Structure 1
Amino acid sequence: MRRVEREAAEQGATAVLVLNAFGAEQSIPTLRRFADRSGRQRVGSGVGPVLAYVPDAKTLEFATGPARGSSLAAVEGANLFPLRGWAAQVQAIDLTHPEDEVEEVDERLTSALESLQFYGNNGYGPPFDRQQAARVLGDLRSAGLLDHDVVIGAVAAQGISPDGLKRLGQLIKAAGGR
């Protein structure tokens, strides 16, 4: 929160808090104070830093809009939405360990992720897209690279819709992903 507020001050902008549930900040005093200082009226205009607190896929997708041109800090929640793949895809810094190197997506995974993005442009709805995504996922499984959290997060960073991510998660499970 301090980093987001500091960046907002440096930019002359107002920080924004994005939550996955209405009123969730009321149960956490520090989030409540942050929300009181943040700019609810600015949501969607894309002019400052955003704190996405325990986002799900839909919330993370939404949070990228107001963060456009600034930064997005995301706090991962237990068992809600995996951010590891997303963070690697966008080259995010882990603010709990800023001295650590930024985790990168395995080069062998990069072309598979590009294919998954291509076939996911319609949310993996059409049968052909699902079949092709299943083929790519099978190849990843064979190579020992089919990690649900990494794939879902990385594809989320590429702009696949929350519904598409849900379908992709089902395909990963069917392909034997962990």
Structure 2
Amino acid sequence: MGILRAAWVPDDDVERDWQVAAERAVEWVEHEATEQRATAVLVLNVFGAEQTVPALRGFAQRHRVATPRSGRQRAGSGIGPVLAYVPDAKTLEFATGLARNSSLAAVEGANLFPLRGWAAQMNAVDLTRPDDEAVELDVRLTTAMDRLKFYGNNGYGPPFDRQQAAHILDDLRAAGLLDRDVLLSAMAARGISADGLKRLGQLIDAAGGR
């Protein structure tokens, strides 16, 4: 099984304080932890980031804290919900692995790794607009992503895989659907590794993605 439920706080309002964004994610993950009778995990890019945000500092005192560098041992061996705070691609990949068979909430840092495509692919609840339906991706894009996933199983390392991916990206550009941020985060939701996303990003840039 994959992620059972997902939520996010988009970084789309310059007036929204990071404390407010964190509070919304914390409340959702705390509810998930109570429902699942599990200990939650706060996943950060680096240790110490939680100390600058009171909501995260309190959450860290009640649950576990881990980073990609610390590995799974800091998160414990049980299954529980995960809060990924302004994750980059590598951190999101790590958080997703920890949240398997449980729940995942992410607070977006748009300058670090935009999450619009991820949220659409995961059918994530927008915690700033919880009553709104999740935005769906264009069916032409999702069909293309099926093919990109097939050629990305080896991280777009082999030349043939890169060549085939480039053809797909050219078709998306011609259709006006080659949005770099949306595509990369949606492919992250489909299990492409952080290294694979880096190579895919290079292919998107070469194809003239916006």
**Structure 1 length normalisation: TM-score?**
0.95
Specify the alignment match of 1:35 in structure 2. Answer: 60
Q: What does 1:29-68 correspond to in 2, within 5 Å?
A: 29-40=54-65, 43=75, 45=77, 47-68=79-100
- 1:108 matched residue in structure 2: 140
Of 134, 158, 161 in structure 2, the residue corresponding to residue 126 of structure 1 is: 158
Instruction: Give the aligned partner of residue 12 of structure 2.
Output: none
Alignment gaps of 5+ in structure 2: 1-25, 66-72
Return the offset for 1:147: 0.3
Q: Is the 8 A contact 1:20 1:59 kept in 2?
A: yes
d(CA) in 1 for partners of 2:76 and 2:108? 22
Counterparts of 1:138 and 1:46, CA distance in 2: 43
2:46 maps to 21
CA displacement at 1:39 relative to structure 2 = 2.7
Is structure 2 residue 123 aligned with structure 1 residue 98? no
Q: CA deviation digits over 1:55-90, x for unaligned, max 9? A: 111111111122122210000013111111111111
How far, CA to CA, are the matches of 2:36 and 2:184 in structure 1?
Answer: 32
Q: For 1:93-132, what per-residue CA distance to the aligned partner results, in whole angstroms no more than 9, with x for missing partners?
A: 1111111111111101111101111111111111111111
2:106 aligns with 74
Residues in 2 aligned to 1:170 and 1:42: alpha-carbon distance in whole angstroms: 33
Tell me the equivalent position of 1:161: 193
Instruction: Give aligned pairs, total.
Output: 178
CA–CA distance in 1 between the matches of 2:193 and 2:57?
A: 29
Flag structure 1 segments of 5+ consecutive residues without an equivalent. none
Q: Which moved more, 1:146-155 or 1:33-42?
A: 33-42
Which aligned runs of 4 or more in structure 1 are off by greater than 4 angstroms? none
Q: Determine which structure has the larger helix proportion and give its number.
A: 1
**Distance in structure 2 (CA, Å) of the matches to 1:151 and 1:64:** 18
Q: Which amino acid aligns with 1:24?
A: A
Query: How far does residue 46 in structure 1 lie from its aligned partner after superposition?
Result: 5.0
Judge conservation of contact 1:8–1:48 (CA < 8 Å) in 2: yes
1:5 maps to what in 2? 30
Deviation sequence 1:122-157 (CA, Å, 0-9, x none): 111111111111100000000000000111011111
Q: Which residue of 1 aligns with 2:209?
A: 177
